Chain A
Amino acid sequence: MQLKVKIRRYDPERPGKDRPYWQEFAVEAEPGDRLLDVLNQVKWYHDPTLAFRRSCAHGVCGSDAMLINGRNRLACKTLVRDLGDRITVEPIRGLKVEKDLIVDMEPFFDSYRAVMPYFVNDEPPPAGERLQSIEERQQFDAGTKCILCAACTTSCPIFWVNGNYLGPAAIVQAHRFIFDSRDRAAATRLAVLNQNVGVWRCRTAYNCTEACPRGIPVTQLIEEVKRAVMFQNA
């Protein structure tokens, strides 16, 4: 099928045109092609200066989150037949655009680091493994699916206007360890999240939940963290 692909371009080094602009490409594609294939076609056969991130191309590395037809999705998990023949592609919002579809992810990862996204347990290791029941494992199962693509954080209407907000992705990562029965640093993480840049900036708009390419119920996890903060301080 014949596609019209409108891409939001930006090149800070383009003389006299250092502002974002729209460019349209006519591309031939199969309905079963992924948007990533379409972007590759544009880059390989139409305009090699087009810049975007991609790595594994199979929805696991989390590199190619973009604003596709008005919604945050992974280009490698979105099929052309689900988009129609007019497609608009923009960089994800709320982070500084570096070039075309590439944004500066550093603030996103700063928030990620702020919640200590790693296992903390200073007790002497047991002889065997740190055992966990199926129910205990189930409690934080959803958060383990996160691939840090930033689709959730950059779909959040609060993050768009207030970059200080830690954002859904960081809270999901915190949730993954707070509710891990083997972890011992929940109190510290909850203290980080119990701030006006933490969970209390969440307005439950559910854009994060809709945007997550891994099907994580992000808003529900944030609500669980809010309740954990409340019960911890009660």
Chain B
Amino acid sequence: MIRARRYQDARAQARSNPELAWWVFMRVSGVVLIFLVLGHIYMTFLLTSELQASYSVVVNQLAQPVWKIYDWLMLTLAMLHGVNGARYSIDDYVQKVSRRVWTKTLVYGLAALIYVLGTMGLFIISKAMLAG
């Protein structure tokens, strides 16, 4: 927060931060995600009914390396893009510092947990799981 009466104050308070990098990332990842997500929706929701995605169908598909990579790339970009978007919203709307810290901790923590779960899922899945 800059509250400066003279430009020396403003200069002292101005420091570099990763906002520029995030700003560029949001646009680049967004463009990539349009293709990945719309492709994902088209293949799993329009071409076939989502009801067909039974246990064996999901395991069979995600056992193939090409879908592991596709889904993991989509998961990673979407998580970073989404959580950074949530951070923008929290910074905009949650003004009380203590509440902001708690909100961010909760959102980041939950997202990180689910990201780890999803990543583990993608890399553990193999056709052997259908044998049982």
Check A-B contact in the complex, CB < 8 A: yes
Tell me the A residues contacting B by CB distance below 8 Å.
107, 110-111, 113-116, 158, 161-162, 164, 166, 185, 188, 191-192, 194-198, 200-201, 226, 229-230, 233
B7, B14, B22, B92: the one contacting A195 at CB < 8 Å is B14
Give Cα A164 to B2, complex, Å: 7
Give Cα A233 to B23, complex, Å: 13
Residues of A within 8 A of B1 (CB): 164, 197
Residues of B within 8 A of A226 (CB): 23
Considering only CB atoms, which chain A residue lies closest to B6 in the complex?
A113
Any A CB within 8 A of the CB of B3: yes
Give Cα A208 to B2, complex, Å: 21
Residues of A within 8 A of B7 (CB): 113-114, 116, 185, 188
Provide a sorted-by-A list of 16 A–B residue pairs whose CB atoms are within 8 angstroms: A110-B4, A110-B5, A111-B2, A114-B9, A158-B92, A161-B93, A161-B95, A188-B10, A188-B11, A191-B16, A192-B2, A192-B11, A194-B20, A195-B17, A226-B23, A229-B20
* The 6 A-B residue pairs with the shortest CB-CB distance in the complex, in nearest-first order: A116-B7, A200-B19, A114-B2, A114-B10, A164-B1, A191-B14
* A116/B20 contact (C-beta < 8 A), A161-B95, A195-B2 known: no
Any A CB within 8 A of the CB of B91: yes
Residues of A within 8 A of B13 (CB): 192
Residues of A within 8 A of B10 (CB): 113-116, 188, 192
Residues of B within 8 A of A201 (CB): 91-92
Any A CB within 8 A of the CB of B24: yes
Give Cα A203 to B131, complex, Å: 52
Residues of A within 8 A of B20 (CB): 194, 200, 229-230, 233
Residues of B within 8 A of A107 (CB): 3
Give Cα A110 to B92, complex, Å: 20
B91 and A196 form a contact (CB under 8 A): yes
Of residues 1 through 50 on chain B, the ones whose CB sits less than 8 Å from some CB of chain A are 1-7, 9-11, 13-17, 19-20, 22-24
B17 and A196 form a contact (CB under 8 A): yes
Of residues 81 through 103 on chain B, the ones whose CB sits less than 8 Å from some CB of chain A are 91-93, 95
Residues of A within 8 A of B6 (CB): 113
